[in-house]
Amino acid sequence: MNLDTLLHQFDCNNGLSEIINAICKSSVEIEQLVNRVFLDKTVLISKCIQNSSGDEQHKMDILSNEIMISNLTNSNSCSVLISEENEDAIIVDESHSGNYIVYFDPLDGSSNIDCNCGVGTIFSIILDNDKYKTIENRVLTNGNNIICAGYILYGGSTDMVIAFKGKGVHRLSFDRNTTEYVHTGILDITNKNKKVYSINESNFERWDIDMKHYIRQYRKQESKYTQRWIGSMVSDIHRTLLYGGMFCYPSDENNIHGKLRILYECFPMAFIMEEAGGKAIIAKMSNDR
Ligand code: AHM
Ligand code: MG
């Protein structure tokens, strides 16, 4: 089954399938950049400026962001685009405007790209219900309004994982011969039982007492857990979905609000995890993050 058949099966209409196709098209273009990263190294991984989240931007981040914005705008299905790489929400011009707000991180994990580890594009989509309200009153305040979320992992192969509300999580793999995404499985974490915990344990001394206590349970010999940490969220979540286990990124003394961004990283991954039968929890939440 290819992507079009899947979208048809799920009655993705009113522009939703156009958005997903725009994200797929973007992923194919970003994939080509990722593949060339060492050949055009000086250009693609040159450091540029800090983005709105305070991270250093690579040229790759900027190009991936431009690709996403251009394809999503041309889908004629989005009213607002909210990117990790842009300070402000992008209001799509009336002539191209549609019914949905799309959130995305065009290239998560790009700080790892120099060592050829898997990086990814993360997205989530909500219906833009009331265009007469100001943008501040329309954006996502929790993950419950998400109708579709997913990621594309640019790894050994390029995989798209996509979740629709109430319809589970689907994995599609990019076939470079036919240049199509092909359905390669349904991801259900409930029957995956590898004992893996995934966390950047080098932050241990900076966690609060409860967090230290929680992780010590995994460390105990009798727990039989092993630890894995790629340091690229899309790769770490992908492994967790496929094998089971847990992933977390707690706040610490240096990152008092946590490192991961709630809109671009946490909400979409939590949505996917829950659709796959898993749990997503937030222990503490600051109002300003
Ligand atoms: P990025 O958006 O700048 O790429 O940062 C997010 C990434 C995640 O993919 C990953 O889980 C995390 O940063 C790893 O951070 P660290 O290596 O500092 O633990
Ligand atoms: Mg990111």
Q: Determine the Cα–Cα distance for residues 273 and 283; give it in Å rounded to an integer.
A: 16
> For residues 167 and 165, what is the distance between their CA atoms, to the nearest angstrom?
6
Average pLDDT on 90-105 reads 94
Active site residue 107: yes
Least trusted range by pLDDT, from 102-106, 159-163, 258-262, 265-269: 258-262
Instruction: Check if 27 has its Cβ closer than 6 Å to any atom of ligand 1.
Output: no
In this structure, what DSSP letter does residue 265 have? I
Out of 55, 66, 180, 188, pick the active-site residue. Answer: 55
| CA-closest candidate to residue 107, choices 134, 68, 144 | 68
Q: 181-227: per-residue pLDDT in tens?
A: 999 999 999 989 899 999 999 999 999 999 999 999 999 999 999 99
Q: What is the pLDDT of residue 83?
A: 96
Probe residue for ligand 1, chosen from 64, 83, 108 as the CB with the greatest number of ligand atoms within 8 Å: 108
> Phi/psi of residue 9, each to 5°?
-60, -35
Atom of ligand 1 nearest to the CA of 119: 9
* Ligand 1 pocket residue status of 259, Cβ below 6 Å: yes
Measure 108 CA to ligand 1 centroid, in angstroms: 7
Contact 250 CB / ligand 1 (< 6 Å): no
Angle between helices 233-243 and 267-275 (to 10 degrees): 10
Q: Which of 18, 108, 128, 275 is catalytic?
A: 108
* DSSP string over 188-253: -GGG----EEE--GGGGGGS-HHHHHHHHHHHSGGG--EE---S-HHHHHHHHHHH--EE-----S
Whole-number pLDDT of residue 184: 95
Q: Which atom of ligand 1 is closest in space to residue 203's alpha carbon?
A: 19
Does residue 117 have a pLDDT over 60? yes
Token pair of 31, please?
A: 């994939």
Tell whether ligand 1 has an atom less than 6 A from the beta carbon of residue 231. Answer: yes
d(CA 165, CA 185): 17
Of these ranges, 3-7, 34-38, 59-63, the one predicted with the greatest mean pLDDT is 59-63
pLDDT band of residue 53 (cuts 50, 70, 90) is low
- Verify whether ligand 1 is closer than 6 Å to residue 200 (CB atom): yes
Q: Based on the residue annotation, tell me whether 55 is a catalytic residue of this protein.
A: yes
For the stretch 229-265, pLDDT in tens is 999 999 999 999 999 999 999 999 998 888 999 999 9
Residue 53 CA to ligand 1 centre (angstroms): 12
